[in-house]
Structure 1
Amino acid sequence: MRRLGDLEAEIMDRFWRWNRPATVREIVDDINRHRDVAYTTVTTVTTILFHKGHLTRAREGRVWVYGAAGTREAYAAALMEDGLSASEDRPTALAHFVRGLGGPERAALRTALRATDRRPRG
């Protein structure tokens, strides 16, 4: 999975923070509170995000209503998986990554590993 571009990330951030569907108009109006962006630009990028699988959409009257297809955390996990796949030695790459984690992240990793090990395989 490729990292989101700047405007893509800005748009996805709104969906993840709002945790609800929204129209392009809502996104444009919110971004324009901080900087100017054209409605057509946001429409184009939102459509691209839909086709990449980051957004869902449904027609409501004459407009599309978009929603996040996954969580911010799932996106971050996919980026980490891609980072690992860039290495010819995944265990060593993973060890380097873990060495960079702080105490709370290491504790969360231990908890996640224990939960995964207890889960039945199927």
Structure 2
Amino acid sequence: MAKPEQRRPRRAQGELESQVLAVLRTADAPVTAAWVRERLGDDLAYTTVMTVLSRLLGKQAVSRRREGRSFVWEAAGDEAGPAALRMRKVLDRERDRRAVLARFVTALPADDEQVLRDLLDRTADERTG
């Protein structure tokens, strides 16, 4: 009797996207989807990698350009960019943005609150000056 095939545990939501971004950040230059697939060290299908890259492109977390008959990909910006985009999307789904922001700020540790205050002050100075 044949052994039942062992299934891998499902990845957490966004985990594969994070892994793809991490791989792209190790590259010295834009790379192909096949290069990304190789570096993931997993038995992922090429189409899975392409799907993840396409989703990341839609989120503006990666950029691509045509090179020959295929595309080359690179991470767009630093690691903070995708996290900031996720935060913005959560905020955009809420009806009472003011209440959400107020709750967010009051829940911050003092150090983070000070960083936020400094950033807001700097942004205000840049807009006026």
- Measured against the shorter chain, the TM-score band is 0.7 to 0.9
Q: Give the distance between the partners of 1:69 and 1:117, measured in 2 at CA.
A: 26
Rg larger in structure: 2
Return closer, same or farther for 1:117/1:52 CA change in 2, 3 Å cut-off.
closer
Residue type of the partner of 1:75?
P
Give 2:56's match in structure 1, choosing from 34, 49, 53: 49
The corresponding residue for 1:37 is 44
The corresponding residue for 2:122 is 115
Give 1:63's match in structure 2, choosing from 67, 70, 88: 70
For these two proteins, the number of residue pairs brought into alignment is: 117
Aligned sequence identity (%): 34
Residue type of the partner of 1:46?
L
Asked whether 1:82 is paired with 2:89, we answer yes
Instruction: Return the structure number with greater relative CO, CA threshold 8 A, min gap 6.
Output: 1
Q: Give the distance between the partners of 1:19 and 1:117, measured in 2 at CA.
A: 36
Task: Tell whether the 8 Å contact from 2:65 to 2:71 is kept in structure 1 after alignment.
Answer: yes
Offset from partner CA, 1:58-115 (integer Å, 9 cap, x none): 2333432101234332222222222223332222211211122223321210110110
- TM-score (norm. length: structure 2): 0.70
Root-mean-square deviation (CA, aligned residues, Å) is 2.7
The corresponding residue for 2:23 is 14
Q: Give the distance between the partners of 2:28 and 2:100, measured in 1 at CA.
A: 33
Aligned-partner SS, 2:127: coil
